[in-house]
Homo-oligomer: A and B are copies of this chain.
Amino acid sequence: MVSPGLMKEFQRILGKEQVFLEETDRATYAYDAAVLEPVMPAIVLRPKSPEELGQVVRLCHENGLPLTMRGAGTNLSGGSIPGRGGAVVLTTALNNILEINEADLYAVVQPGVITAKLAAAVEAKGLFYPPDPGSMAVSTLGGNVAENAGGLRGLKYGVTRDYVMGLTFFAAAGETVKTGSRTVKCVSGYNLAALLVGSEGTLGVISEIILKLIPPPATSKAMMATFDTVGKASETVAAIIAHRIVPATLEFLDNFTIRTVEDYSHAGLPVDAAALLLIEVDGHPAVVAEEAEKVEAICRQQGATQIHIAKDATERDRIWSARRSALPALAKLKPTCVLEDATVPRSKIPAMIRALEEISRKFDLTIGTFGHAGDGNLHPTILTDKRNQEEWHRVEAAVEAIFEVALELGGTLSGEHGIGTAKSRFLEKEFGKGTLLYSKRIKAALDPNHILNPGKIIGE
């Protein structure tokens, strides 16, 4: 797919050692964290500066070579799988934090900066970058922006898009596009930054990101409430919000997930509980004390059998590391782990959980359910083996049933992971023909040679 002439051009721009052609090198970049068929890239490129990145984009455009940007490849919907097997362009060498502005509360970063690295750098200055996707220890900010990554703190603090103040990116033909500003308010021109966020690399190639920072909460309190029915736990989620309390985090784990996490991490979770809620409130000490008390009272009213409040930072960390181990723990049980993220209005969480139990029975599948209950964003996780074709067909039918019930409940196909290729064919069901048509017009106008991460969101 890559002619010798084009390859030489890439080598000239980037240096030979930043152009990877060997099959063993390329194979690493054929997949991401989604359960989808790998696609072998034709070439892997590693630009070391925005200028090199721009030249790569221009060359790909001129030669009709598909281009898929890749951060850490933790994507859960296939966004990092190189559609049509073109070039995978790595952001690993574009990893500088360019500025942390304490006076104006923003940071400027290159796309390859690791999320946790920025969070730590910002924390060291007494500031706070809230978005905390599950993979933040390795995920990159470029990937977070391209996928509009969520996280555990979404309920109170919002997701990545709520922190993107501005972007610099390359249009398909390599022109530099600047959008947004270092100011907290900007209505100058179209909000192209907001269009690019979550567009999965299909409308431009991000080279620089301006991110909003905020003052950190003074303190926090984490607690764990145990329930003897899933229904009571899910009703409690709605009751907390109905009391006008917005915790920083409000997570749900069902019994299957609790037992699996406990086997994996020995965190001391109550393995007989039907469900757990993990809740954190944060802010001013007076607010934290008051909200924690209210949340505890609501949990008791709703029939929690036990409520454990973390006594110190160690206990708090244990609660959250147990929650963060849910996916790796479940993933160890079976060869294939299908993690969904269909999302419903919060008040529909009890109905969604009932539907998931029904789907598990109907298709005779093991589903562990956990996730961001406060956001209506659960992660039903189907444990299976893709090599078992008969079971895999039931998995596919179950996934489709999950999408359908989420839409019936007034929800959406994806709360966090994006559409990628995994959910592309369901998009019309959610929004109708008009939305697809409108989206395709944008894509065609902005990427006429159809080289930017082809096949994602709106399909081929």
A residues touching B (Cβ–Cβ < 8 Å)?
101-106, 126-127, 147-148, 150, 154-155, 159, 161-162, 171, 175-179, 181-192, 194-195, 197-199, 203-204, 214-215, 238, 241-242, 244-246, 283-287, 290, 343-347, 372, 375-377, 410-419, 423, 427, 430-435, 437-439, 441-442, 444-446, 457-458
**A347-B103 contact, Cβ under 8 Å, with A184-B155, A246-B214, A441-B446:** yes
Query: Do the beta carbons of A187 and B417 come within 8 Å of each other?
Result: yes
Q: A103-B241, A186-B414 are in contact. List 10 more A-B contacts (CB 8 A).
A: A147-B187, A154-B185, A185-B376, A186-B412, A187-B416, A187-B418, A189-B457, A191-B197, A204-B438, A445-B445
Query: Do the beta carbons of A427 and B189 come within 8 Å of each other?
Result: yes
Contacts of A183 in B (CB 8 A): 343-346, 375-377, 410-412, 415
User: Who on chain B is nearest to A148 by CB?
Assistant: B187
Contacts of A214 in B (CB 8 A): 246
Contacts of A245 in B (CB 8 A): 215
Q: Which of A150, A238, A246, A411 has the most CB of B within 10 A?
A: A411
**Distance in angstroms between the alpha carbons of A182 and B178 in the assembled complex:** 31
Query: Do the beta carbons of B178 and A431 come within 8 Å of each other?
Result: yes
Contact of A161 among B101, B126, B194, B285 (CB under 8 A): B194
Contacts of A186 in B (CB 8 A): 343, 412, 414-415
Nearest 8 A/B pairs, CB to CB: A194-B194, A445-B445, A286-B286, A175-B434, A103-B347, A215-B244, A185-B415, A104-B345
Contacts of A185 in B (CB 8 A): 150, 154, 159, 343, 372, 375-377, 412, 415-416
**Distance in angstroms between the alpha carbons of A210 and B413 in the assembled complex:** 18
Contacts of A432 in B (CB 8 A): 176-178
CB distance from A426 to the nearest CB of B (A): 9
Q: Which of A179, A183, A241, A413 has the most CB of B within 10 A?
A: A183
**Distance in angstroms between the alpha carbons of A183 and B121 in the assembled complex:** 32
Query: Do the beta carbons of B415 and A376 come within 8 Å of each other?
Result: no
CB distance from A403 to the nearest CB of B (A): 10
Query: Do the beta carbons of B195 and A126 come within 8 Å of each other?
Result: no
Contacts of A410 in B (CB 8 A): 181-183
**A435-B179 contact, Cβ under 8 Å, with A150-B185, A244-B215, A376-B185:** yes
User: Who on chain B is nearest to A448 by CB?
Assistant: B441
- 22 A–B pairs (Cβ distance < 8 Å), ordered by A: A148-B191, A150-B187, A177-B438, A179-B431, A182-B345, A183-B344, A183-B377, A185-B343, A185-B416, A187-B418, A189-B430, A190-B442, A191-B199, A192-B435, A192-B438, A192-B439, A194-B197, A195-B195, A284-B284, A285-B286, A287-B287, A445-B446
Contacts of A283 in B (CB 8 A): 284, 287
**Distance in angstroms between the alpha carbons of A346 and B198 in the assembled complex:** 28
CB distance from A156 to the nearest CB of B (A): 10
**Distance in angstroms between the alpha carbons of A344 and B192 in the assembled complex:** 20
Contact of A188 among B104, B171, B192, B414 (CB under 8 A): B414
Contacts of A286 in B (CB 8 A): 284-287
Query: Do the beta carbons of B176 and A412 come within 8 Å of each other?
Result: no
CB distance from A427 to the nearest CB of B (A): 5
Contacts of A242 in B (CB 8 A): 102-103
CB distance from A302 to the nearest CB of B (A): 15
Query: Do the beta carbons of B376 and A126 come within 8 Å of each other?
Result: no
